[in-house]
Structure 1
């Protein structure tokens, strides 16, 4: 330290101080402002990027909320469509059952009517056939009964007796 004090020159010190002050002035004038401006620009850029990131985050949250809402609506719509389809299916099945029942009832009624008609026709044919057979039998019986004269007179008297009684 003593050597420093021994070698101290006030002129040199003043020159170096003057050079330092000029250098600081030049730095402040030409370098300090651009450096500060650059730092301010960078700070603003970082702040803008953070703001943009925050905006993007909010927009993403809004989009997610909208997506959730749309998804819920789509699910509700899908459930509604499925319910309508099930209801339509059940209605179609019920309509088909009703139509089949009505058709079966009509067919049964037609079959019963046809059976009744066939039954009446068969009965009429049977009556006709029985009547024809009865006439044939009666004719044969009457021939055998009327072949004898005494039997003819008895038959006439009995018929007359029955007519009078009635």
Structure 2
């Protein structure tokens, strides 16, 4: 350290100090502003990137919320459509059942009417057949009865007696 103090020259010190001050002045005048401007630009760029990232994050959150809302709406719409389809199915089944029941009832009524008309026709045919048989039998009986005069008189008297009683 002693050698440092021995080699100290005040003139060299002053010149070195002046050169240092000139160098600092030149740096301040020509280099300081561009350095500060580039630092400010870089800081603004970083801040802009951070702001953009924050906006993107907020936008992403909004998009997720919108997606969730759309998904919920789609689920609700699907459930509504399924419910309407079930109701339509049950209505169609009920309508088909009622139409089938109406047709069955009509067929039963038509069958009953057909049976009744067939029954009436059969009864009428049976009556006419019985009437024909009765006439044939009556004719044979009357021939037998009327072949004898005594029997004819008895028959006429009995008929007259019945006629007055009625």
Worse-superposed segment, 95-104 or 123-132: 95-104
Q: How many residues align?
A: 166
The residue that corresponds to 1:97 in the other structure is 97
In structure 1, stretches of 5+ residues that fail to align are none
The residue that corresponds to 1:33 in the other structure is 33
The residue that corresponds to 1:13 in the other structure is 13
> Are residues 1:149 and 2:146 paired?
no
The residue that corresponds to 1:125 in the other structure is 125
> Aligned-pair distance for 1:26?
1.9
Query: What TM-score do the two structures reach when normalised by structure 1?
Result: 0.91
SS of equivalent to 1:59:
helix
In structure 2, stretches of 5+ residues that fail to align are none
The residue that corresponds to 1:163 in the other structure is 163
Query: What TM-score do the two structures reach when normalised by structure 2?
Result: 0.91
The residue that corresponds to 2:65 in the other structure is 65
> Aligned-pair distance for 1:42?
0.7
Aligned equivalents of 2:116, 2:82: Cα separation in 1 = 50
The structure 1 segments of at least 4 consecutive aligned residues displaced by more than 3 Å after TM superposition are none
RMSD: 1.5
